Amino acid sequence: MRTFINEEKFSELTGSAAFITLVGHLNPDGDAIGSLSGMYHYLSARGKQAAIVLNNPLPDNFGFLTAGLPIFYYDDAPEKCIEAVRRADLIICQDMSAPSRAGDISAEIENASCPKILIDHHLNPAVEWFDTVISDTEVSSASELVLLTLLKQEDVVQDVQKLPLECATALLTGILTDTNNFSNSVFPTTYDAAKLLLQRGADRDFIYREVFCSFSEQRMRLMGYLLSENMRYMPEYGTAYFTLSKNDKKNFSFLRGDSEGFVNLPLAIKNVSLTALFTEDDGFVKVSLRSKGDVDVNEFSHRYCNGGGHKNAAGGRVYLPFEEIPSYFEKCIGEFFAR
């Protein structure tokens, strides 16, 4: 659904700002950093000063998008993040539906008096916080929506060659990651966007290698262990899930980002249409959910996991002792599919 598109207002607000602060969601993913890095390179080429503010760093395999950028993480340097928000003439939030999704910097963003823009593809954008909202749920990613927005700017006017190469690389990375390499959330426009970015010179093979083929041996062994030892299959509900404990992480020298993509694996089982990965954290259990077809994990997460997202991809948190997760989840699944 297109709730609101206003490229003219985007043009006006970015045109009159000298320093622009770009913000993405907590636990940033490839689309968050792809869309932010893409926007950063576009604004830089237009002579704007900009900074990127995130709650916490990304997995190392996205280092090729962050190297050399003025990017601040609240976990490492809260004062730099606060300064970047306070000195901004304009704040652009991307790949997040509300300021609260930014993590510990949220209150600063809400209190900032400068204009704010939202560019996002999630359901129910919190429009009340923003001066203009560019929202479309029928695109693959925030990165695709950033591309559509930039193509309409008067210095680009549908000529993708006018965008910096680094911008094209970053936006294609966001599309590749949010669609899991074009396997989900792909719309006809997504291929058009990818075509334009390739024509601009983005190197798909390079991006694929960096993002999907740069993990450690230990990560591969952890994946094998989870699939063979921890995965539980509930054929009567077309559901498969696994758990990742702190102990498992320790045994396999877990690094941030190592479990990225694991939740998708059981979807390769013919009968499975809902998968979940539960990861033990401090004081809560992180939940990742994926589904095929009409099974709505956004709804599942709202009902049982204190979260949400998209129909076929959602996240959340459960506040239960880790060992109680299997019985809780299996009860929820029985209830969810009984309706």
Instruction: Select from 95, 144, 210, 258 the one that contacts Mn ion (CB under 5 A).
Output: 95
Nearer to Mn ion, 142 or 160 (CB): 142
CB of 263 to Mn ion, least distance (A): 15
The residue whose Cβ lies closest to Mn ion is 31
Instruction: Select from 17, 31, 34, 147 the one that contacts Mn ion (CB under 5 A).
Output: 31
Q: Which stretch binds Mn ion (CB under 5 A): 6-14, 18-26, 70-78, 92-100?
A: 92-100
Nearer to Mn ion, 239 or 259 (CB): 259
User: In 3D, which of 110, 99, 108, 94 has the Cα closest to residue 147?
Assistant: 94
Name the H helices within the chain: 7-15, 30-45, 63-66, 78-86, 106-111, 142-151, 165-178, 188-199, 204-212, 217-225, 246-251, 297-304, 325-338
Helical (H) or strand (E) element with 312? none
Q: Which stretch binds Mn ion (CB under 5 A): 2-10, 66-74, 89-97, 246-254?
A: 89-97
CB of 58 to Mn ion, least distance (A): 13
Which residues face 308 on adjacent strands? 315
Nearer to Mn ion, 31 or 280 (CB): 31
Of 185-214, binders to Mn ion (CB under 5 A) are none
CB of 162 to Mn ion, least distance (A): 25
* Rounded Cα distance, 51 and 59, in Å: 19
Q: Give the HSE-up count for residue 38: Cα atoms under 13 Å, Cβ half-sphere.
A: 33
* Rounded Cα distance, 229 and 223, in Å: 10
Nearer to Mn ion, 141 or 275 (CB): 141
Instruction: Select from 178, 210, 248, 280 the one that contacts Mn ion (CB under 5 A).
Output: 178
Q: Does residue 260 belong to the site contacting Mn ion (CB under 5 A)?
A: no
Q: Angle 297-304/325-338 helices, nearest 10 degrees?
A: 120
Residues at the site binding Mn ion, with contacts judged by CB under 5 A: 31, 95, 141-142, 178
